[in-house]
Amino acid sequence: MENGEQGGWVYIMANRYRGTMYAGVTAHLAERMHQHRSDEGSEFCKQYGLNRLVWAEHAPSITDCIAQEKRLKRWRREWKFALIERANPEWCDLYDQIR
């Protein structure tokens, strides 16, 4: 498999409805969510108590995921809210759906 051709996930974590958010990328979403929930993920998620997976999108290329993550990090909060609420209006934790 060529470099960057392994599929991956772009995801957004939050601490509550319209609260603090974190955008990330991973090749293994369930494993990464377990790390975040065990305080072994990012320091930012640990510091702000971000343990709710509120949005995730799969892409066939990890390179595409990284580019999407960078775009999301430049977006305004309201744009991220709209993205999340199109797929998850109640900001439910999606972790159980991906395990």
The pLDDT assigned to 1 comes to: 36
The pLDDT assigned to 6 comes to: 81
**What is the CATH classification number for the domain harbouring 13?**
3.40.1440
**Full residue range of the structural domain in which residue 19 is found:** 8-98
Mean pLDDT by 10 residues, the chain (99 residues): 71 98 97 94 94 97 97 98 98 93
Name the pTM for this structure.
0.92
The pLDDT assigned to 4 comes to: 47
Residue 1 in any domain: the answer is no
How many domains, in total, are found in the chain? 1
d(CA 6, CA 47): 30
Residue 3 in any domain: the answer is no
Residue 58 in any domain: the answer is yes
β pairing state of 8-14 and 52-59: antiparallel
Residue 78 in any domain: the answer is yes
Structural contact between residues 76 and 42, judged by C-beta atoms closer than 8 angstroms: no
